[in-house]
Amino acid sequence: MAQWTHYTHSLFRVTPMSVFSQTCQCGECYWEVVDATPGTLVCCYCRSCQGAMKHLGLAETRLNPEGGTLIFQTLPDNFRMIRGTRRLKSFRMTPKGVVRWYVDCCNTPVANTIATAALPFVGVILPPDTEVFGPSRNHAFTETALSPVKQRGMARVGWGVIGRGLLGKLTGRTASPFFEAGHLRVAPELLSREDREAVI
């Protein structure tokens, strides 16, 4: 379940803002995305994202018909885990892959991060029918889509991650609910070769 609420907050001054609220599938966990800085909406069709949803057992409900995962990339201090922090778990598809966070009460995917706090980044996983961020103009790794999708916006996505990360470091916006004292809150499980091959 997801919804918009409204309140006031900004990096430099008080302005009207919006909050995207989402619960996990069983309702035990609850988190918010605060749109306090511009983010990038991207639909990723890579085999790793497809495999991650299969690993969680949610490919049918969390991938769009073309096999894409809808992701809102922003600074991690825009993300708030309101309820269920103790339920956060993580895994990686490969040793150098992104860290994929989910809640273990019902395996609902929450977000992707990189393994270091040096560059502030979070990619919040959204249900494929989410419309509040508008339509995605960015489609990545479409060569592995389940049906033809035109690739676009790859440079915009990449530079967005770097630009927002640098902005976060310069303005001190480095807080992340996925890190504690500069280290990942939960050590990610690395999928075995057999488990990885079973879903990719």
Does residue 124 fall inside a structural domain?
yes
pLDDT at 17 over 80: no
Q: Note whether residue 166 is domain-resident.
A: yes
CB atoms within 10 A of CB 140: 23
Residue 21 domain flag: no
CB distance 139 to 151 below 8 Å = yes
Q: Distance between terminal CA atoms of the chain?
A: 28
Averaged over 52-72, what is the pLDDT? 97
Of the pLDDT bands very low, low, confident and very high (cuts 50, 70, 90), residue 15 is: very low
In a domain, 42, yes or no: yes
Tens digit of each residue's pLDDT (9 = 90 or more) over 181-200: 999 999 999 999 999 999 98
The total number of structural domains that make up the chain: 1
Is 148 inside any structural domain? yes
Q: Flag whether 12 is in a domain.
A: no
Q: Is the pLDDT of residue 11 over 80?
A: no
Q: What are phi and psi of 196, to 5 degrees?
A: -65, -45
> 74-120 pLDDT, tens per residue?
999 999 999 999 999 999 999 999 999 999 999 999 999 999 999 99
Higher pLDDT, 16 or 147: 147
Where residue 59 sits, what CATH number does that domain have?
3.90.1590
In a domain, 90, yes or no: yes
pLDDT of residue 134: 83
Please tell me the predicted confidence (pLDDT) of residue 175.
92
pLDDT for 45: 98
Alpha-carbon distances of 101 from 156, 184, 188, rounded to whole Å: 24, 11, 8
Report the C-alpha gap between 189 and 186 in whole angstroms.
Answer: 9
Domain that holds residue 156: 37-77+84-199
Write the pLDDT tens digit of every residue in 108-156: 999 999 999 999 999 999 999 998 888 889 999 999 999 999 999 999 9
In-domain check, residue 169: yes
